[in-house]
Amino acid sequence: MKQLQSILFLLTIVTILFSKTTFAITYTVSDATSGSTYPHGLWTSQDIQTGSGSPYFSIDGLLNIDDSAANSNNWTATLVAKATNPQGLEADINLAFNNWTTDYNYKQEGGLPYNPANVDFFTSVLGTITIDNNIYDIDGFASGFGFQYGLGANAKNPNAFGASAWIQSCQNGVNGACMNSHHWDLNLNLAPAPVPIPGAVYLFVSGLFGLGIFKRKNQTATA
């Protein structure tokens, strides 16, 4: 009876902790153009010229989409990544996306034709991309597009789950360096990131393990 009460107590703790936990979807980010001459997830057009293939930055990072809010208008996403061009120049990417929607201007290029069942959008962006000590203030999208993500949405591979955007700087005032080009490209492959086990699960498993040892000891003592 005492063992059952202990298990019920641990289950109650797990329920309370999980009810207070905010869940988000996290994806690892990689190049959507891995088969090209210069694999890249970030393309900086004519703004970065350090040698052959210099606008092409191979990317690695995380995209976190927080869709836990009851109102989808409050859903957000963050992209935190590093990218490197063939000359070893690094780009630190920190972008936040807002204004989620299921229907917006879609950029197909080499991706799938638009299917609203497969693609979602964020229509606002704020953040920075830092390259060679120049902080580019990213605050808009080009040509009426947004940040699109879903199956075939990376604009490069119709069979991949990914994301893409044409990003711009200095659209709402100059707070940093401004790109001279019309836009830069993000072309990303997305894969689910490993999900860490919440502490509540560790607590629960440890508790059950402890109860098992306690039970075995009692059985040994009474044998």
pLDDT in tens, the chain (223 residues): 555 555 555 555 545 444 444 468 999 999 998 667 888 999 999 999 989 999 999 999 999 999 999 999 899 999 999 999 999 999 999 999 999 999 999 999 999 999 999 999 999 999 999 999 999 999 999 999 999 999 999 999 999 999 999 999 987 655 667 888 999 999 999 999 986 655 545 555 555 555 554 454 455 555 5
> Are residues 179 and 88 part of one domain?
yes
Tokens of 162: 């990914």
Exposed, middle or buried by CB within 10 Å (0-12, 13-18, 19+), for 35?
exposed
Q: Are residues 215 and 133 in the same domain?
A: no
By DSSP bridging, strand 147-151 and strand 134-141 are unpaired
Q: Say if residue 205 is in the same domain as residue 179.
A: no
- Cα 42–Cα 191–Cα 35 angle in degrees, nearest 5: 50
Do 11 and 109 have their domain in common? no
Q: What are phi and psi of 106, to 5 degrees?
A: -110, 135
In sequence order, what are the residues at sequence separation of 6 or more whose Cβ sits closer than 8 angstroms to the Cβ of residue 207? 6, 7, 10
Pick from 167, 90, 170: nearest CA to 132: 90
Any idea how long the chain is? Answer: 223
Could you list the residue range(s) of the whole structural domain that residue 180 is in? Answer: 24-192
Counting the structural domains of the chain, the total is 2
Q: What is the pTM of this model?
A: 0.78
107 and 207 in a single domain? The answer is no
Rama region for 53: left / alpha / beta (φ>0; ψ in -120 to 50; rest) = left
